[in-house]
Amino acid sequence: MRNTMDIDQAQEPDYESVKIDYAGFVDPYAVEGMVVLKADNGKEFHMRAFSGEVIRHISSFSENEGEPVPSIYKMIEEIWEENELILVKVKIYESGEVLRANLYFTGKKDLVLKNYRASDGMALASFYNIPILVRKNLLKESMEA
């Protein structure tokens, strides 16, 4: 579903900007991954149920391991460039029992792609080093192990 809207609007007060603080696996077979998102105020959001493949991509993007860019990201980037669009932010939110992402673009026109998998949104945000916004009600105080 595509929707256009003004992406220059002020940041919604119920969203907080976060960074990926940790990306790793929750099982010994590297099938399921997770990320810990951290806000500037120290609050965190732990996201699970990522595919192992997506977590490997996020880890390689953030660590600059020099691994080749997956072909799907290269293809998406070429489509964006051809249409003169730039991804500028990703918003993560709850939709029922699952997490979803809205992708915000600017360029020839402003464009918002709504209701995509949160893990894909996180991977794209990591790859392009752009802001990730999370609903404040998802953020919790840091938990020490």
**pLDDT given for residue 76 in this prediction:** 87
Q: In the predicted model, what is the mean pLDDT of residues 2-29?
A: 78
CA-closest candidate to residue 32, choices 16, 11, 59, 52 = 52
**pLDDT given for residue 10 in this prediction:** 64
pLDDT at 2 over 50: no
Query: Domains of the chain (ranges plus CATH)?
Result: 2-138 (3.10.690.10)
pLDDT confidence of 57, banded at 50, 70, 90?
A: confident
pTM of the model: 0.83
**pLDDT given for residue 3 in this prediction:** 40
Hey, what are 139's tokens? 């953020």
Q: Give per-residue pLDDT as tens, 126-139.
A: 988 999 999 999 99
Q: Which helix (H) or strand (E) holds 106?
A: strand 98-107
Give 110: exposed, middle or buried? Use CB within 10 Å, 0-12, 13-18, 19+.
middle
**pLDDT given for residue 1 in this prediction:** 39
C-alpha separations of 89 from 24, 51, 123, 129, 131 in Å: 23, 22, 12, 9, 5
**pLDDT given for residue 74 in this prediction:** 84
120, 102 in Cβ contact below 8 A? no
The Cα–Cα gap between 95 and 10 comes to 23
**pLDDT given for residue 52 in this prediction:** 87
**pLDDT given for residue 4 in this prediction:** 40
**pLDDT given for residue 50 in this prediction:** 82
